[in-house]
Structure 1
């Protein structure tokens, strides 16, 4: 049996969860979303337009 290497998850208080990829995410409705990127940002604020992935919608944009 191959040795399992744990995935690293980085938690930031004001941002997404950063997960070393590739990853499979099981959504609430049971669908599976995959990403083969080396690092995946998972949204924690639910403002994203691309769930479960972060699209930086949590950032406040200042007007000039």
Structure 2
């Protein structure tokens, strides 16, 4: 009888959700590699990564985007339109 395989199963691939006019939602825990080379480790089950660059806690979202309105992504010229089913396939 052979010994059982003691190695843990591989982690699931990262899941990143795009939100309409908000942050990127990344299933955690996650390590964020910052431009200066430092690593920010987040143990939260979901990490909100700022995309508006207004956050005082950048690169983490502090909901600063709520106070500033910008055009919806679909109305911006040349912006891709993503289907609501989350398939990631652009129409057309």
- After superposing on structure 2, the runs of 4+ consecutive aligned residues of structure 1 that deviate more than 6 Å are none
Please state how far the C-alpha of 1:7 moved relative to its aligned partner: 1.3
Query: Which has the larger strand fraction?
Result: 1
- Counterpart among 26, 37, 41 of residue 33 in structure 2: 26
Q: Which is bigger in relative contact order (C-alpha 8 A, separation at least 6)? A: 1
Please state how far the C-alpha of 1:5 moved relative to its aligned partner: 1.1
Bigger radius of gyration:
2
Please state how far the C-alpha of 1:51 moved relative to its aligned partner: 1.2
Query: What is the TM-score with the length of structure 2 in the denominator?
Result: 0.61
Q: Aligned equivalents of 2:45 and 2:27: distance in 1?
A: 6
Establish whether residue 42 from structure 1 lines up as the match of residue 31 from structure 2.
no
> Unaligned regions of 5+ residues in structure 2, if any?
1-6, 69-92
Query: Which has the larger helix fraction?
Result: 2
Query: What is the TM-score with the length of structure 1 in the denominator?
Result: 0.85
RMSD: 1.4
> Unaligned regions of 5+ residues in structure 1, if any?
none
Establish whether residue 59 from structure 1 lines up as the match of residue 83 from structure 2.
no
